[in-house]
Amino acid sequence: MQLSDIKSFSPEIILIFGSIFILVYGIFFTKSKDLNKNIFYITFVSLILSFYFSIYVVDLGTNSFNNLLNNDLYTLFFKILAFTGTIIITYISYNYLKDLDILKPEFFFLILISLTGILILISSRNIISMYLSLELQSICLYILAAYRKYDVKSSEAGVKYFIIGSLASGILLYELSIIYAFTNATDFYEISKSINLSLENNENFLILNLGFVLILCGLFFKIAIVPFHMWAPDVYEGSATPITAYFTTIPKIGAIGFLIKFLNIPFESYSDAWFQILYLVSIASMFLGSIAAVKQNNIKRLLAYSSISHMGFILIGILTDNHLGIKSAQLYISIYMVNILGIFTCVLCLKNKINGYYLENIINFSGLSKKNPFLSFSLAILLFSLAGLPPLSGFFAKLYILITAVESKLYLLAVIAVLASIISAFYYLKIIKTIFFDKSVNDIYINIPTGSRLIILITLIISIFLIIFLSDFLEIIDATSLISNL
Amino acid sequence: MTNIPILSLLIFFPFLGSLIILFINKNDKSYKNKVKEIGLWTSIINFFLSLALLYSFDKTESQFQFIESFKLINDLNIYYYLGIDGISLSFILLTTLLIPICIITSWNKINEHIGYFIVSFLIIECFLIGLFSSLDLFIFFIFFEGSLIPLFLIIGIWGGENRIYASYKFFFYTIFGSLLMLLGILTLYFYSGTSNLTLLMKTNIPFTLQIWLFLSFFASFAIKIPMWPFHTWLPDAHVEAPTAGSVILAGILLKLGGYGFLRFSLPLFPEASDFFTPLIFILSLVSIIYISILALSQNNIKKLIAYSSVAHMGFVTLGIFSRNLEGLQGSVYQMISHGLISAALFLSAGFLIDKMQTKKIDDFGGLWKQMPKFSIFFMIFCLGAISFPGTTGFIGEFLILLGVFKINFLISFIAAFGIILSACYILWLYNRVCFGNNNYNNITDLSTKDSLVFLIFLLLIVILGIYPNMLMSIYELSTNKLIIN
């Protein structure tokens, strides 16, 4: 280990120290009145500090720890997304958990550690670091899913997620060992070299192919796309709402960022194979996600299915395997994150007046437009944006995906994407319908903290005015795209 | 005058107005009035801006004018590229005229969510003007589909009983068509490397590609106009929409289809247009005859007017695809004239429905005695709708029939029956509403404000009917250019 390794690992080190500090602080000051507040501040400061370090201190374009990790602009892009999302989620979950009186130091510890796992996953270039970081984040996520431990659904979510998740991890680990056995390498570039060599010698190992496919299955499980999506709706519904917001965004950002890299570096020469796999999987995700969401009444379940369908769209960008495609996937996931977080922030402002529960059932939103024009307007704009209506940001995300598909002459896929997006418009409209067209119910209690108002405003402005600075944003993506960083 | 980006000003001025409305304190007692006044003044100022545009428009120039262009998205070569010719100018004038009227007529009727209502209309105004002045396919599409959002909300929030069904139907029909068009735009873009309309007009597209592209554009425009098998969203949307919503729908939204055919389908895919002309003629004839017969059997006043709109739009598609001077000029004239007449008819219907609280034609009757002013206005609007000489409707349909006659005698012969049928259902409607036995006692006639609004329509319908050159001179050269190309 060298000094430069520590330098490039500094954001993760800060997060780890921050989280350990939270635990220690939580043990020694259990009776302190300001315990929760202080712990929130510690989390916030360590997030910001780590964010700062990952932008200004880490040397980009370098490898560290004997090529276990590498940092370049591409990883930085996904890390910035993950940081922004986590900061927002930390804020909204602080209010939510404090309100339900289940705020404990462990929560922030788990968030920080899982974020560390995601950050390492994004920058890993070795199957060892990849597997370790994937497990690091997954285990935190299992616990987070069961965080409301007295709630039956939450416990069920945790157990379900844990069992299926560990199965996926097991398969992943097994297949990684097969890859190591055949290529005798753990580094992505060396795996790629070794595979190319065997292809040149016309050696085709069936079991290597199988290993590759099963690794994809493991990764698909983590992103929750069809046919490995079964856990997602239940887990999303059972978890506490801000944790659902976390599940729908941050681990997916990490996994998508890693998936693009994984497909394009070690398995570059397999592109024909994974093209077909991704093709089918993306069609299945878009359709199942859209159709299954139509019948949902719980907004978390609905967003779970919709996120499956959005992941299907992102896969279109990935499978075209060119600069434009990866760029559009990056654009899509950033716009998706902004909109989803805005929606979750809005939803977390709504409570039932009588029993104080947070509203989750869509029917309970009825007549919100009379109660609070600001919230209903924001929700409408964000949902229209997710449905992909111009001139809102979600349209440009879908436009770029369609452009990619048409440019690669995948007309069938483009038509299917259009149909799926029409179906998905249906359930977004269902929420808007409930908010605006239905008769108002009197038992909505609305509390918008200043920070939430700010978050909603920012997401709203991004959604409406993205068209103006889209060009600049695309330039940023261009610079950070994987292919320009290879 | 040339340095001022007047088109952008026209587009974004209503947006500015709606931003101001968002910042008004809602707890203020005079909140509702303030919102309405800001909305009204914004739209009126915008109307005068469009008059200034008309004043500085060069009628002797057949190229696009008031060009504005800057790069919107660098890597895709998408430009924010605006410019107008005579056809777009006429539609812009129609839009800026109808929006303030919509706001005036719903002044006392809309009480719920008044802020949203005004904002929706202002936003729809900016989308519509943007769409009529955009010369880049992507920008056009953004404005085209963006207009869905406010209209969906207008039908859904302030509509009648069955409004949710109607708004959904409207939304899904339109989004289905327009997303297919988006695929067409993308294919065209990748074929030619540009989405700039003036450059696209110079590129030659192979015939098979033209066919596919034409169909994808046709899906969107035929639903919007609406043509016969795709028309079923229209009666529902019209019946459930509030009066102002119907006015916008019939007045402008239906014209987007015709405008799209003129602006995109004809110049970009000439051979495919030739190829599909017989199909479109047949669909138009079915629209005219079959829908007119349907209109005869309606008992809902708004539904009847909605069906008559479909029939009139059938004439427009006939005229456009006859592709000669008379047909094209006639169809543009017909669109503007129908924009005025159907808006006036829907205003009258809305006025009646508000007074009597019923939409059934059978429930009206004998209004002649109690509402003499209204009856006169309604009479003239009805005459316009049956294209009576002296009204704008006559000029449009006469020119269209003339144009079609040059191509095929039989088609114009059948289409002429449409006029007779329209006389049947409209006059019968008038008969049942204004003559006969009176079922109501305490009904007041038009107020001064309403009379003024009606008078504007009446004057426009009659003056443009007697002196068509006033309007036709604006777009004459632009339609000529379509023929030459």
- If you compute the radius of gyration of chain B from its CA atoms, what whole number of angstroms results? 21
Interface mutation target, options B181, B183, B194, chain A, most CBs of A under 10 Å: B183
This prediction's pTM: 0.92
pLDDT tens, residue by residue, A240-263: 999 999 999 999 999 999 999 899
d(CA B346, nearest CA chain A) in Å: 23
Q: Are B248 and B102 in contact (CB under 8 A)?
A: yes
* Structure confidence at residue B112 (pLDDT): 78
Q: Are B415 and B290 in contact (CB under 8 A)?
A: no
B160 touches chain A (CB under 8 A): no
pLDDT tens-place values along chain A, 486 residues long = 678 888 888 999 999 999 999 999 888 888 777 888 888 999 999 999 999 999 888 888 888 888 888 888 889 999 999 999 999 999 999 988 888 888 888 899 999 999 999 999 999 988 999 999 999 999 999 999 998 888 888 899 999 999 999 999 999 999 899 889 888 888 988 998 888 888 888 777 788 888 888 888 888 988 888 888 888 999 999 999 999 999 999 999 999 999 998 998 888 888 888 899 999 999 999 999 999 998 889 999 999 999 999 999 999 999 988 888 999 999 999 999 999 999 999 999 988 888 878 888 888 888 888 888 889 899 999 999 999 888 899 999 999 999 999 888 888 999 999 999 999 999 999 999 988 888 877 788 888 899 999 999 999 999 999 988 888 899 888 888 876 566
pLDDT tens, residue by residue, B395-429: 999 999 999 998 888 998 999 888 899 999 999 99
Cβ pair A384:B176 closer than 8 A: no
Cβ pair B172:A437 closer than 8 A: no
Interface mutation target, options B112, B175, B188, B189, chain A, most CBs of A under 10 Å: B175
- If you compute the radius of gyration of chain A from its CA atoms, what whole number of angstroms results? 22
Q: Are B264 and B256 in contact (CB under 8 A)?
A: no
* Structure confidence at residue B359 (pLDDT): 84
**CA-based nearest residue to A482, from A274, A320, A332, A264:** A264
Set of chain A residues whose Cβ sits within 8 Å of the Cβ of B113: 369-370, 373
Q: How many CB atoms lie within 10 A of CB A183?
A: 22
* Structure confidence at residue A483 (pLDDT): 66
**A132-138 contacts: CB < 8 A, separation 24 or more?**
A134/A169, A134/A172, A134/A222, A135/A169, A137/A113, A137/A251, A137/A254, A138/A165, A138/A169, A138/A222
Is omega for the bond preceding A227 within 30 degrees of 0, making it cis?
A: yes
pLDDT at B144 over 60: yes
Cβ pair B146:A389 closer than 8 A: yes
Helix (H) or strand (E) holding B59: none
The first and second tokens of residue A160, run together, are 């379900």
B171 touches chain A (CB under 8 A): yes
Set of chain B residues whose Cβ sits within 8 Å of the Cβ of A370: 112-113
Q: Are B209 and B280 in contact (CB under 8 A)?
A: no
B462 touches chain A (CB under 8 A): no
Set of chain B residues whose Cβ sits within 8 Å of the Cβ of A415: 183
Is omega for the bond preceding B14 within 30 degrees of 0, making it cis?
A: no
**CA-based nearest residue to B353, from B336, B374, B382:** B374
Set of chain A residues whose Cβ sits within 8 Å of the Cβ of B145: 389-390, 395
Backbone phi and psi for residue B196, each to the nearest 5 degrees, phi listed first:
-80, 125
Q: Determine the 3-state secondary structure of B69 from DSSP.
A: strand
d(CA A407, nearest CA chain B) in Å: 7
ipTM: 0.90
Alpha helices in B57-162 (DSSP H): 86-105, 114-133, 137-146, 148-158
Cβ pair B180:A467 closer than 8 A: no
B76 touches chain A (CB under 8 A): yes
